[in-house]
Structure 1
């Protein structure tokens, strides 16, 4: 990965400020490897709006971003997902293995110090969503955000934790991720396991959306009539908006992920929620509408004074 970073783009929905922190963006890998069920025709027929922010046609590569979101809500600072981390052993993930990044520096340039973060939300416990939960202190992993509570989906913590053999022993990386990015948060007493529906504050609510992982979650924002849903890896590429039945290659339960995707996108279309996936390049968020058996794109988010002024149609 070559760095292509941003100090933070901002929009405001109701009383919530949203700051986008982009660690990296660019071609990630074969498009049809990322979303195996989406045929070549889906990409070609939608090239006008997929390229160049989401698809590089010349190499048939999916274009993605590695990013996090900071929400200033109800007087607190909430960090949604924490990227890959720094200097991690990820032998089965070449893109992430021993990666060196400057996530804390990016936060600082956006005006956020580690001690300012009150809540960390991990939408699920994959490597690229929990890495900066911790950092190295005197050769040991310790929470990177000393004053934060870390909201972890209980189902993912059980699945990826030692009691289940770190994801059933499917991947050595799962054990490494849990041991360096999740277990230290537990030892520090900062982990909060949640299930069902969990209210973060008056504007933000966590809800289950299983399939990608057992505990995959979405974070809903509702403030003064404006809405957004942070969907994590429920949608990796915009082609999954067009073809919601198509799972990514990383989904543990493709059928369950498709069911969650249809439900979440359906509500987003009906309630005009801005859909904010974890890995979209370009604008990074979109408004969707129902269209046939799937969904279509209404417009991309623009980062300006607010959602109403900033939506490009």
Structure 2
């Protein structure tokens, strides 16, 4: 993805895993794979594996640089995290921090970490392993988490401490941040910063999880860029917004949130910074008959 500028704010992306093929029926249990074939022409080989119906996804983070803050959005899977039920991201050892450095940012420069939600593949780099303990990866950052989501997960952890929450990511990537005193539990409409018509703020995007949020970057008083997290996982959902992900907490609410996103931003200049689309990742929604498509930036 090319670096993006929204007023005085710069947005850059860097990868943990640039492209991973996943079975369509694993991602979307209700999918008729004929829809993949019907949309293969516009999706292309960057999004659908040639010779199969497997769908490519990416795992990446964003850095927002404003006049006041350096903000990391979504922290991927992390290294050395034990996820035996998810082999594709179990016990990883990726050059994530080197990739961050390659865009000119060191961990100590991050002021704020924003997680659109608290699933394992969005919180993993919140922490790193040091002398057998999970410690904050970004030592100077405040970690902003939706209060409703943290409390929901903490209650599960408290009631069933013997059962890993969110595949163990709550225990190794969220709870240590809270225990180190680095977590700020915020409301779903929290304003991170706002000045002279520019700003960064959250807005509710619930369904995939109880406290999923959009991260919005604004200029001249309106959102110009929206970080969508897992409201939409793959561009195939523009062709069929009813496709729900296996991990959706509330499938109907997730569908309603996704469809509202499409209707709100279709045929506008609002840039979507997606959570799992392979590079070039960012783009805009365009109408296509009674459905939608995604126009990648720079194409």
- Equivalent in 237, 248, 251 of residue 254 of structure 1: 251
State the TM-score, normalized to the length of structure 1. Answer: 0.87
| 1:264 counterpart = 2:261 | yes
Please tell me whether the aligned partners of residues 67 and 83 of structure 1 are also in contact (alpha carbons under 8 angstroms). Answer: yes
Of 10, 13, 30, 1:20 maps to: 13
Q: Please say if residues 208 and 249 of structure 2, whose CA atoms lie closer than 8 Å, have aligned partners that are also in contact.
A: yes
| Contact residue 38 and residue 243 of structure 1 kept, 8 A | no
For 2:159 and 2:100, the matched residues in 1 are separated by 31
> Per the alignment, do residues 167 and 31 of structure 1 end up closer, same or farther by CA in structure 2, a change over 3 Å counting?
farther
- Residue among 47, 59, 68 paired with 1:66: 59
Residue 84 of structure 2 is aligned to residue 88 of structure 1? no
1:173 to 1:58, Cα distance in 2 relative to 1, 3 A:
farther
Encode CA deviations 1:2-30: one digit per residue, 9 max, x unaligned: xxxxxx74222222111111111234321
Q: Secondary structure at the match of 1:131?
A: helix
Aligned mates of 1:18, 1:278 — CA distance in 2: 14
Q: What is the number of equivalent residue pairs in this alignment?
A: 294
Could you tell me whether the CA contact under 8 Å between 1:92 and 1:173 is conserved in 2? no
Cα distance in structure 2, aligned partners of 1:276 and 1:244: 18
Matching residue within 205, 208, 212 for 1:209: 205
Distance 1:34 1:286, change over 3 A: same
Are the counterparts in 2 of residues 114 and 145 from structure 1 also a CA contact under 8 Å? yes
Deviations 1:215-244 (A, max 9, x none): 111111112477111010111110112222
Query: 1:295, 1:170 → 2: CA distance?
Result: 44
Mind listing any 5+ residue stretches in structure 1 that lack a counterpart?
1-7, 303-311
Match of 2:182 among 190, 209, 231: 190
Contact 1:154–1:194 (8 Å) recurs in 2: yes
Q: Encode CA deviations 1:281-313: one digit per residue, 9 max, x unaligned.
A: 13102211344543233x2113xxxxxxxxx3x
Mapping of 1:1-313 within 5 angstroms?
Answer: 9-161=2-154, 163-165=155-157, 172=164, 174=166, 176-202=168-194, 203-224=199-220, 227-269=224-266, 271-297=268-294, 299-302=295-298, 312=299
Shift of 1:157: 0.7
Distance 1:60 1:196 in 2: 36
Match of 2:152, SS? helix
In structure 2, relative to structure 1, the CA distance for the partners of 1:234 and 1:287 (3 Å cut) is same
Q: Deviations over 1:137-184 (max 9, x none)?
A: 2221111111111111112212222x2237979973526211110111
**Quick one: distance in 1 between partners of 2:223 and 2:164?**
42
Q: Normalising to structure 2: TM-score of the pair?
A: 0.91
SS in structure 2 at match of 1:128: helix
Are the aligned partners of 2:233 and 2:277 in contact in 1 as well (CA < 8 Å)? yes
1:208 to 1:259, Cα distance in 2 relative to 1, 3 A: same
